[in-house]
Structure 1
Amino acid sequence: MAMGARWSVGAGAALLAALLAVTGCQRAPEGAGQEGARNRPGAAPASARPSNYGTVFLGVGACSSFGTTTFTEVPCDGERAAARVVARHDGDPDHGPACPATTDFVLHISAQRAPAGAAGDRAVPRGYACMRNLEPPHPGDPGGGGGPRTIVGDCVYGTGRGEVRETACDGTGKHRPEYRVTRAVARRAECPPATALYVQLGGEEPVGCARRL
């Protein structure tokens, strides 16, 4: 069901955003109606303190703790480990590769120079880490109501401004789900006739076909 010719934004509520888990929004083409969009990393920094747990700070497979102001790389078998890096990219997250579909949240890592003459320390380039919680809940899973991307199985609700945002499909979120994304296709014409909403997903199949709940 087209909801007008406004540009529209969708954003999942990434887990523990108050603890610097990073989310953002992406606009859809004009005339697309009410559409959701995948979240993108924002500007909240993770701790960039050098670590001895890997050759790259928060490299793939490394683990982090949760903190109130920073995230620290910790051993994955330690009691402080809370999330694991499933993908790691340098550079500007707005123009870099997308995180895996079931990423729970994204960390934006600030650049840091290696101290001169400090043995074992290393520079940390600007980048972002795609994180997956070691234990449930997993908001990046289909229907989980969060994560940096909108994927098949996710639910959204209208904000009343020609926009939609993600919410948990089981109704445990702050907002009741109104639509569920049932398919991902290359073009709108490939959506089934019962489609009530077109959701921007990105990737090779950028159109999400959503039905009303």
Structure 2
Amino acid sequence: MFVRRLGEEMRHRALPEALFAFTVLYGSWALAGCQAAGRPGAEAVTQQEETRAPAGPGRTGVFLGQGTCAGRGRTAFTEVDCASGQATAAVLARYYGPQSGGPRCPGETDFVLHITAVDAGTSETDSVPEGYACMRNLLPPHPGDPGMGGGPLTVVGDCVYMERHGVVKETACDGSQEHAPEYRVRSEALRRADCPAGTDLYVQVGGGTPVGCARRLGTGEEP
């Protein structure tokens, strides 16, 4: 299997070349009821071999730590100086452990990089634990912004359409994407009962306020 071969290859690499991340390349998704929309697969990307700096943890002491930047070459994301022409996205937040069950990324996150653990066998400083980085593009477009129809989170202002019974997916509020918007998330609440009167759809958004209160468009509700 690819993952197994990649793992064997990593054990024979020096740390700077072994660091890599999984970047989630899916539009924001949501839950309605109990079913989740399926996610496309994640892409495995390795640190660019032709880009040797920085090696190991960055200037924050953490590989892709908060406030650092990343750039993508032909085959990889790597940590780069934010002032360099290679920088394409900034790290808004950095967390350890798997994303499932971990802290929610900031609402303005455009995409998430999943950092695979690397054990260099020397010290904690030379190794990288499992984690994830919440990223925002340095330049537009920003798919994570409200109503843009992308990004890893569903936030207030986003629009969704019913993919199938019990499953909704995000789409652009301006109708520029393949699927027309059917509902717009107007607010977030801790419980369904806390949503305002007239709520037509409850969308799981995660984090401390796990319910998005959505209204149907086309019945007095403008996108």
**TM-score (norm. length: structure 1):** 0.75
Alpha-carbon distance change, 27 to 132 in structure 1, aligned in 2, over 3 angstroms: closer
Relative CO higher for 1 or 2, CA cutoff 8 Å, sep ≥ 6?
A: 1
Instruction: Give the match for residue 88 of structure 1.
Output: 94
Match of 1:22 in 2: 24
Conserved 8 A contact 1:46-1:71:
yes
Aligned-partner residue type, residue 173 of structure 1: Q
Check whether the contact 1:45–1:109 (CA below 8 A) recurs between aligned residues.
no
Superposed displacement of residue 124, structure 1: 1.5
| Alignment match, 2:104 | 98
Of 168, 192, 197, 2:196 maps to 192
Higher helix share: 2
Structure 1 unaligned spans of 5+: 1-18
**Larger displacement relative to structure 2 (84-93 or 45-54):** 45-54
Q: Are the equivalent residues in 2 in contact too, given 1:65–1:83 (CA < 8 A)?
A: yes
Sequence identity, in percent?
A: 55
Of residues 137, 150, 153, the one that matches 1:149 is 153
**Contiguous gaps of at least 5 residues in structure 2:** 1-20, 49-54, 218-223
Q: How many aligned residue pairs are there?
A: 187
- Who is 1:134 aligned against? 138
TM-score by length of 2: 0.72
User: CA shift at 1:83, angstroms?
Assistant: 0.2
Q: Is the 8 A contact 1:48 1:111 kept in 2?
A: no
Contact 1:48 1:110 in 2 (8 A): no
Q: Deviations over 1:102-123 (max 9, x none)?
A: 1110001112233759xxx821
Code of the aligned partner of 2:115: I
Q: Which has the larger strand fraction?
A: 2
- Contact 1:35 1:198 (C-alpha < 8 Å) held by counterparts: no
**d(CA) in 1 for partners of 2:35, 2:106:** 21
Of 84, 90, 109 in structure 2, the residue corresponding to residue 78 of structure 1 is: 84
Task: Kindly indicate whether the alpha-carbon contact (under 8 Å) linking 1:48 and 1:57 is maintained by their aligned counterparts in 2.
Answer: no
Distance in 1 between the 2:24 and 2:194 partners? 33
Deviates more, 1:81-90 or 1:202-211: 202-211
Structure 2: distance between partners of 1:48 and 1:96? 24
Distance apart, 1:66 and its partner CA: 2.0
1:202 corresponds to which of 196, 199, 206: 206
Partner of 2:16: none
SS of residue matched to 2:109: coil
Q: 2:185 aligns with which of 158, 181, 185?
A: 181
Match of 1:60 in 2: 66
Letter of the 1:157 counterpart: Y
The match for 1:168 is: 172
The 8 Å contact of residues 22 and 42 in structure 2, kept in 1 or not, is answered as no
What's the offset of the Cα at 1:23?
A: 5.6
